[in-house]
Amino acid sequence: MKILAPVAVLIVAALHLGFMLLEMVLWQQPAGLSVFGMTAEEAASTAVLAANQGLYNAFLAAGLTWGVLAHKRDVVTFFLLFVVIAGIYGAVTASTAILFVQALPGGVALLLHWLAARQAHTSD
């Protein structure tokens, strides 16, 4: 658990870097249009909003990575909770797929993170 939990958290961070790339760089490109099922016109009219959302995803990735590398359990918990809450909100308001792409991986990482913290606490 000591190794699995941080690996899961870093996978969630990598997912959010991927989301950032899609939203900030590839939004109006064929890959972005395909992933989000948009026309070029729809992508053009929402590009600024997507880039803003991408920046938030970059912040989530940075916070998760910082928490893991600095061994800050509370920081990791804080950012994983944001990931899960944002994923649930996105699933309710935008697409149910977000539940599986964002909230579920974040929730699994959060569970593993909590189990690792509990295991470390009981072995102290």
d(CA 110, CA 77): 7
Tell me the C-alpha distance between 70 and 83, whole Å: 19
Q: Nearest Cα to 3, choosing from 92, 122, 114, 116?
A: 116
Q: What is the mean pLDDT of residues 22-43?
A: 96
Contact criterion met (CB below 8 Å) for 83 and 106: yes
Number of independent structural domains in the chain: 1
pLDDT of residue 124: 57
Residue 64: predicted pLDDT: 98
Question: Which residue range(s) make up the domain with 81?
Answer: 4-123
Task: Give the three-state DSSP class for 42.
Answer: helix
Residue 121 pLDDT more than 80?
no
pLDDT at res. 47: 97
Q: Is the pTM of this model over 0.85?
A: yes
- pLDDT, one tens digit per residue, over 8-22 is 999 999 999 999 999
What per-residue confidence (pLDDT) applies to 2? 87
Q: What is the pLDDT of residues 50-102, one digit of tens each?
A: 999 999 999 999 999 999 999 999 999 999 999 999 999 999 999 999 999 99
Kindly indicate the confidence band of residue 122, based on its pLDDT and cuts at 50, 70 and 90.
Answer: confident
